[in-house]
Amino acid sequence: MDGPQVVFGAGALGRAVATAAVAKGIPVKIVTRSGRMRDAPPGVTLLAADAADPDAASGACTGASAIHHCAAPPYEQWAAQHPPLMAGILTAGERSGAVVVNSSNAYMYDPADGEMTERSVERPRSRKGAIRAALDAEVRQAHVSGRCPTVTVRAPDYYGPWGSATTVYGDRVFGRLIAGRRPQVFGRLDVDHTWV
């Protein structure tokens, strides 16, 4: 991988990917619409581009070896904003020849099926799950058709650095525990759950 890693999105996941790459001496460009990021990791280059604009996304990815799709619109805007983001990023992958790393989740699986694995059947039971399944299918098709190399990483619920207010177990559990307050736990406590 000679070219830089391009990370679309400056949230918890984008920041974690960028920080890990910089620690390994890999050049990183973080792309946001504004070109700004509060407390940007040292050693990254910040660029302004709208990932939903295929030309702007492609311009940001010139010479890239990998493109990390870590951009995430607010939940209530998934249906409108996710498809154009995916289209722009896949076009950037096609034009640059870089591998597109699609950061996904487990929403497309039916939780009633039990333990989720790579072989679990995709059977979304929610609108967000259906959107995520369609996006991941588009990424798979881009790879299978030879449009651009892709890989999808599916992770369960996130907690950890930079994700305090935006994650289920962030401020509501760990933040409250640190403050000496009773945590607010969501979901069934008698059912196994994996976090990343």
What averages of pLDDT result for each successive group of 10 residues across the chain (196 residues)? 90 91 95 92 94 98 97 91 97 98 90 77 91 96 98 80 66 83 81 70
Exposed, middle or buried: residue 33 (CB in 10 Å: 0-12, 13-18, 19+)?
A: middle
Which one, of 98, 107, 110, lies nearest residue 154 by Cα? 107
| pLDDT at residue 168 in the model | 67
pLDDT (0 to 100) of residue 17: 93
Instruction: Give the DSSP letter string of the chain.
Output: --SPEEEE--SHHHHHHHHHHHHTT--EEEEESSS--TTPPTTEEEEE--TTSHHHHHHHTTT-SEEEE-----GGGHHHHHHHHHHHHHHHHHHH-PEEEEEEESTTB-GGG-S--TT--B---SHHHHHHHHHHHHHHHHHHTTSS-EEEEEE-B--STT-TTTSTTIIIIIIHHHTT------S-TTS---B-
Domains detected in the chain: 5-155 (3.40.50.720), 166-196 (no CATH)
Query: Residue 175's pLDDT is what?
Result: 80
Reported as a single tens digit per residue, the pLDDT across 181-196 is 998 877 777 877 676 6
pLDDT the model gives residue 187: 73
Contact 164, 116 (CB under 8 A): no
